[in-house]
């Protein structure tokens, strides 16, 4: 089994969409190996998204991610990273394929309901940012 990192973002949590999103995750063949509900501080959001520090959307992104609770998860499946990215859909919900999480639950490019790692190195950093090895139950 491969691991990837996922977030149900504050927009989806505040809209009461955690249940339907988790149901879709499990229905799609993922095992949830770890899960936490957190309310990130601005500094925690900045640390997590540090790779975007120089991008013009960095402040808006970190404000948004620290505005309310989110769910952080480690997902397990064969080919977890590409499988999760396919289930999420395109970053912009207007461009996401029908039936994907972002098409169903996102409202715009900034409030797109979910996040996922884009590569093994990213997944390793993102998982380690929120979880210790003892918190991941893969099986």
pLDDT score recorded for residue 124: 97
d(C-alpha 114, C-alpha 13), whole Å: 10
Closest CA to 18 of 32, 29, 2: 32
**Using an 8 Å Cβ cutoff, are 7 and 35 in contact?**
no
The alpha-carbon radius of gyration of the chain (Å, integer) is: 14
Residue-wise pLDDT for 12-69, tens only, equals 999 999 999 999 999 999 999 999 999 999 999 999 999 999 999 999 999 999 999 9
d(C-alpha 53, C-alpha 59), whole Å: 8
115 annotated active-site? yes
Residue-wise pLDDT for 112-129, tens only, equals 999 999 999 999 999 999
pLDDT over 70 at 139, yes or no: no
* Reported pTM: 0.95
Number of other CB atoms surrounding residue 28 within 10 Å: 14
Output the domain CATH number for residue 92.
3.30.70.141
**Using an 8 Å Cβ cutoff, are 139 and 3 in contact?**
no
pLDDT score recorded for residue 36: 98
Which domain covers residue 57, as residue numbers?
2-135
Tokens of 135: 């918190």
**Number of domains present in the structure of the chain:** 1
10 Å CB burial of residue 51 (0-12, 13-18, 19+) is exposed
């Amino acid at each position: 089994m491969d691991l990837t990192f996922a977030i149900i973002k504050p927009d989806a949590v505040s809209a009461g969409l955690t249940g339907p999103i988790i149901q879709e995750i499990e229905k799609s063949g993922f095992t949830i190996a770890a899960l936490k509900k957190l309310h990130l501080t601005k500094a925690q959001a900045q640390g997590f998204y540090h790779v975007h520090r120089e991008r013009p959307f960095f402040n808006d992104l970190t404000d948004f991610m620290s505005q309310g609770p989110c769910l952080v998860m480690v997902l397990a499946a064969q080919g977890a990273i590409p499988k999760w990215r396919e289930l999420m859909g395109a970053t912009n919900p207007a461009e996401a394929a029908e039936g994907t999480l972002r098409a169903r639950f996102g409202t715009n490019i900034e409030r797109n309901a979910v996040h996922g790692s884009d590569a093994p190195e990213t997944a390793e950093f993102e998982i380690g940012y929120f979880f210790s090895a003892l918190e991941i139950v893969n099986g």
